[in-house]
Every structure is written in structure tokens, then in C-alpha cells.
Structure 1
């Protein structure tokens, strides 16, 4: 829809943009969309809070609240609707809510995020606490508060969430075991992994990794490993894997990679160019970016830019946000920063210790403050200055092998 300067009837001149999801990507997109006065922005989110998901391990340990009023994070012109989107009606261009209400759109930003993957290990769904959402973290916090201070805690999953939660709880004095499966911190360079293992050991975290160290069963009071070892656990925490909601698939939209919305390189759905994806639930050309805040915020920014380009009658640009690495907090007093190439491959360079902890904390603060700044001055925060110079080669190679179903726009 091209811009119309007439103000005689705002019902015909305003472009309605609906954003589904109020996480990092959705909030950034909603705020950035308010650059144009002829764009009405509605954000749908299941709760009235903005959750700093990268701080959920701190909420569990009681070292940070991790939650803000979503209205305080959004630009004044963004209308917040608290509810759960249950279906996208493509022909009618409406979003159905769990309440039965429907919200019409001209463009839709699909930023539903991700949640914990349903575990396929026997007993895990019944006896382990997931840690991917605010509600998960609140239930886990209550379970830990109810357990004796010396009760054993086992975390299953050797990625960032498991590592940071294990370190936070161990630093608080709890006996903690981290069941990693084959590798601790699979993203990390081996030398960074060695430094991380040393720090976890000093905190008192018992790490189970290597052959036979995958969780095979979860029972009350114990996690059994593939090689038969049993890890005592009064409170078991499951942090192994993430999955995306099935809203896109249930709405008849093409998906890839476990339910992510399949898009072209401009983030537009391959079924409908009026639907733009961002964050964890986006799969450009079937080659998605790593689920992370580091990707979500630039993708939210770029999704808004894509919508605004279409509103202005211009062609959106292909996106290619780049990475800088991975930051881990290892308790409150130390951390680890793994450097990476822009195409998200770990380099040999890393930083560990107090300086790394300060960098990690600075990253957490800057992501939240960046959203606030974008709300006040939409269009001024550019999170996508860094680009992945190798993505074009990756796409070409994937197409030659028949792995990329979408050609770049």
C-alpha cells in the first residue's frame, strides 16, 4: 500500500500493521514501524510484560527481576493487545485470538519467538522443569524455594541456558550437576570450552559430558544417563533445545526447520508477501539464523524496514545480519565471551573472567535500552550494521545441493 497524504478519512489512508509477539524481535519491529504517521501498529502478546529472556536464569536464582511492563517498552503509538493469536486467516487478512476476537491487518509481522522443545526422554515431561518462558522460570523459582538449600539440582542441556543457570545456582550455594550430553558448550571453540569447564569446576558444578553422558531417563530424585550412571536430583531442570509455536503451520503457511515460517531473503513469507517474519520463528530460504537475542533484534529491525519499504511502494532489501560471538555469564562475578566470524562460526579468540562478565552485563543492558531508545526515536537504532558476507555463498551452495527451497529476492 503506497503512502497517501490525504487526511480526509484516516480509515482509508492508514496502513494497519499487526505484530504477533512482544519479545526482542517483535518489540523492536513494533517500535520501528511507528516512524510513519500513516501506519497504525498493533502488537499482540500473551502477557502484558516484556521479558528479558536472556536474564531468566537470574530470575530463577533471584539476582534479577527480568520483567518490565511492556507498555513502558513500547512506543506511545503502538497499541498493545494482550491475548494469544490462534490462527492467521490469509484471505481475510485477520488474526484470530483465543478470546474469539479478530484483528485485521494490511501487513503482519510474525515474531512469535520460541519455547522449550518437548523432551523425548522418558520422564522428562513429568519430572523436569523447563526453562524457556517467564512462566517456566516462575514455576522453577517456586520449586527451588520449596526445596531444602542443600538439595541436589541437575540441569539437562549444555547450551547457554543450562550453563548460565547452573553457574548462577552454584554461586548461590546449591549443589549443581550439569548433564551436557556429548559436549559442554557446543558452540564454543575448544580452548574457550576448557576455560569454561575450569570456572564451572571452581563454582562446584559437576559436569557430565562425553560418551554416555546423555540423559536417558528422568525419575523423581534422579537423572539416569545412557551409560547407566545416575545423577541425584531433587529439582531437575530441562534446558535441552528450543521449538517454535505451530501458529504458521496451523494457518496453512509454508514452514521449515521444525515450524519456522519459510520466507525469502527479504523475510517475506513465500505464501504471502504481506506477512514478514522476524526472530526465532523465521527461516529465510530455509537457512535460519541461530536462535538468539543477537539475531532477533536485527531481524526485528529489518522486518520493520521491509514493511515500511512495501508501504512506500519500494522493494525491500535482502537481509544478512552478521554475528560477533556468544556471551555467557558464569555466575555474577565472571563470564566468557566467545568471538565469532560474521557468519556465526566460533573463532579461537575468547575472553574469560571479570571483564567478560562486565561485557555480558553490558550486552544485556544495551539490548533493553536499545528497545527503549527505538520507542522514543523510531528509526534511529541500527542493529543491522554488521552483515554476514558469506551468506550469499551459503545460499548458492545450498541451492546446488537442493537444500535451499527459496531463491534470494
Structure 2
């Protein structure tokens, strides 16, 4: 009889759940998923928590394979030498392999006053607190959203649809990823909702007070509620455990997603930095990376050589309230095409992307190994360019 292998997965987000489910491909693998909450949080919907249009909670029984053991707890330390983890409750768990999928959360807000007076939305708890603050504020209270990436745009649109007076402070370009054509569509939609969009180099936030937001160009905006969506942070668990991390605290791995320090540890999602060149943060990437991390573990158990990750990004979807959105198509190198879909169809595609991000997990729970993703990204070229090597020869895309 084959020896059983214990695998511990730290973090029950998109990457962790996908990895745990995929590991069920082998009957001789026992998986324990450790997560601080008893429910799954579809983070693509946190702006809807703020807007009171969704609760962003999914029961793990809907998406987690039956053989995966769920432990509701926090990991305070990883012991690579002893192959174990310490829990905040005081217990310990041993492992044969470890999957590090702790995700990301609210950033350290270094702008003066932001930590005290601005409200992040990167976690369920933060989004709920912000909704309570908004509920207590006057309907006419000025609201400022800092940061014009997808979360900032979606939060601003969601609140404006509810009748809030919203100013979106970009700190640069509105929707930096979007093609200029799609960006103009997003700007028109935001304007139609009554959102004041402030973009350009002078719109970097320099200070936040109880009732104002100050910009680099000297402007001072009235703001009874300030929402902070710029930047991100990751837990410091890897660094505290003596593992190598990048400057942001993400676990450093090779291209198979294996820790540069220990081949028993793999990482996926927002807290992973393969070759110190992280993938764009998204639920889509997290799920794909989680699946590949599981494949790396399974290959090692089987005595096979793990393969490097190959992932391309076909699109990005940004919601513009409940009735509009932008579905931005992308080249395989993750740059935006001219082609996009807006309006109500864009909103429907955004909703589908939210639903499918959870459905993919449920499908993998029912049929481990079923999840697949588009290949053929330009990862090899990017790594070669950083090393100063000639780019590898590739065939043109069909």
C-alpha cells in the first residue's frame, strides 16, 4: 500500500481552494485547508458588500471537495525544518508538502492620515465596516475614493448608483490597464452616474484628514467618507518563518511555484512571487496558479519533474455599477486590445466572471484535475529580457 502524504494548504481563497480540490486526484493524499474564516469570500464582490448589493459569502460545502479537511484557524509560523505549522489556537500540524496561498489584504497606508481616516475594502471585514460608516453618514455626504484600478472604479460606480456624491481620485490614469477606447467608455459611464473623476499627475493623494483629501497639486477635497483602494498588502507569515520573500513580502518561488528555500513548499495567488516576477493579481490568476501549485506537488509525490507555469490573460472585466461594465480583451502578453465590450453586455459578462470564478472551484471539487486555462503567455520572453538574454524563438500566435 502506498504511503499517505499529508498536505497542508494555508489560505482558503481562490488559489487555496483550487489547490486543495485538485490534490484530490490522488487517493493517498490527505489535505488540510487552514483558513481564518469558516466561509469562502469571493473577493470580486467586495465592492458590492460596500454597496449593499451582495453579501460576498459562500459556504465551503458548495466549493470544497468532501475529503478536504477544513480547519478554521490562523497559522502563526511555518517550520520548514520540522515540516510543520503552528496555529494561533496553540496546536501544530505536520506536513509532507505545504501550499502557501495566504492571499492579500489591505495595504499599509503610508500617506499621512490615511491609516486613521481612510477606509480600505480589501477584506470582508473592512468592506462591512465601510458599509456601516456609509449607512451612518448623511446621504449627501461627500465620498472620495482613492485609487482608480478595478476596485476603485467598481466601488465608485457602486456607490454613485446608490445616489452618493462620489469623487474618484486616480493618482494618475483612470483604469491604467484599459485600452484608451475602453477607458473613455468607463469615464463616460462614471460621469453619467455623477462621479467626479480627477486624473493626471497632480492627483496623487498626499494627506487625508477627518473631512478632507489633499492632492499633490494643492487641491483640498471635502470628504466625509474616504475610501482607500490603492495598493495592497500581504501577510508577513513567510518572512516571519524565515522564508525568502520579495520586497512586498510575497514568497519567492521558481517557475514551478516551488519556494526557492524548500521544495516541500509551493505558493500560489497574490502572495507568490515566481522568479521575483509576480503575475497580475486577479481571481483568474489565483485559480490557475492554485491548480498549477497542486500539479507541482502531485508531480513531486509521483517522482516526476514539475513543469514551469504557463499562463496567459485573455481579458479583464470591470464593473460600472449594476447596469454597465467593460469587458476588456487582452493579448496573450496581458496588454489590452482595442477590442472591448461595454454597456449592459459588459455588465452581464462581469457578473458571469464573478459566478464562474466560484463555479470553477465547485467543478474542481466534483472532478479534480478538470480545471484548465489559456497557455502561451510571454513569460519566457519577460524572464529572458530581465536576464539580458536573447528572447527564445516562438511561433506566431494563430
Interval containing the TM-score (normalised by the shorter chain): over 0.9
Q: Which consecutive unaligned segments of at least 5 residues does structure 2 have? A: 390-398
Deviation string, structure 1 residues 172-195 (Cα, Å, up to 9, x no partner): 111111111111111111221111
1:180 is aligned, of 159, 167, 170, to 170
* Aligned match of 1:400: 388
* Aligned match of 1:58: 48
Aligned residues of 2:311 and 2:377 also touching (Cα < 8 A)? no
* Aligned match of 2:376: 388
* Aligned match of 2:265: 275
Q: How far apart are residue 323 of structure 1 and its match?
A: 0.3
Q: How far apart are residue 351 of structure 1 and its match?
A: 1.6
CA–CA distance in structure 1, aligned partners of residues 351 and 229 of structure 2: 21
* Aligned match of 1:200: 190
Deviation string, structure 1 residues 213-234 (Cα, Å, up to 9, x no partner): 1111111111111112121111
Q: How far apart are residue 147 of structure 1 and its match?
A: 1.0
Q: 1:93 and 2:83 equivalent?
A: yes
* Aligned match of 1:284: 274
Matched residue count? 389
SS in 2 for 1:280: coil
Aligned residues of 1:257 and 1:283 also touching (Cα < 8 A)? no
Q: How far apart are residue 257 of structure 1 and its match?
A: 4.2
Deviation string, structure 1 residues 127-156 (Cα, Å, up to 9, x no partner): 001110011111111111111222111110
* Aligned match of 1:47: 37
With over 3 angstroms needed to count, the CA separation of the structure-2 counterparts of 1:257 and 1:350, relative to structure 1, is farther
* Aligned match of 1:225: 215
Q: Once structures 1 and 2 are overlaid, which stretch shifts more, 266-275 or 250-259?
A: 250-259
SS in 1 for 2:270: helix
* Aligned match of 1:130: 120
Q: 1:372 and 2:362 equivalent?
A: yes
Aligned residues of 1:158 and 1:179 also touching (Cα < 8 A)? yes
SS in 2 for 1:181: coil
* Aligned match of 1:79: 69
* Aligned match of 1:405: none
* Aligned match of 1:296: 286
1:166 is aligned, of 147, 156, 161, to 156
* Aligned match of 2:93: 103
Q: How far apart are residue 211 of structure 1 and its match?
A: 2.8
Q: 1:249 and 2:239 equivalent?
A: yes
Aligned residues of 1:181 and 1:214 also touching (Cα < 8 A)? yes
Q: How far apart are residue 250 of structure 1 and its match?
A: 1.1
SS in 2 for 1:249: helix
1:305 is aligned, of 275, 279, 295, to 295
SS in 2 for 1:223: strand
* Aligned match of 1:9: none
Q: Which consecutive unaligned segments of at least 5 residues does structure 1 have? A: 7-12, 402-409
CA–CA distance in structure 1, aligned partners of residues 247 and 267 of structure 2: 14
1:260 is aligned, of 250, 257, 268, to 250
Q: 4+ residue runs of structure 1 moved beyond 4 angstroms?
A: none
Q: How far apart are residue 388 of structure 1 and its match?
A: 3.4
* Aligned match of 2:110: 120
With over 3 angstroms needed to count, the CA separation of the structure-2 counterparts of 1:257 and 1:352, relative to structure 1, is farther
Q: How far apart are residue 338 of structure 1 and its match?
A: 1.3
* Aligned match of 2:200: 210
CA–CA distance in structure 1, aligned partners of residues 252 and 59 of structure 2: 31
Aligned residues of 2:158 and 2:320 also touching (Cα < 8 A)? yes
Scaled by the length of structure 2, the TM-score of the pair is 0.96
SS in 2 for 1:381: coil
Aligned residues of 2:104 and 2:234 also touching (Cα < 8 A)? yes
CA–CA distance in structure 1, aligned partners of residues 120 and 352 of structure 2: 27
Aligned residues of 1:323 and 1:388 also touching (Cα < 8 A)? no
Deviation string, structure 1 residues 184-211 (Cα, Å, up to 9, x no partner): 1111112211111111000000011113
Q: How far apart are residue 374 of structure 1 and its match?
A: 1.1
SS in 2 for 1:279: coil
Deviation string, structure 1 residues 370-404 (Cα, Å, up to 9, x no partner): 1111112212222x2x1134211111111128xxx
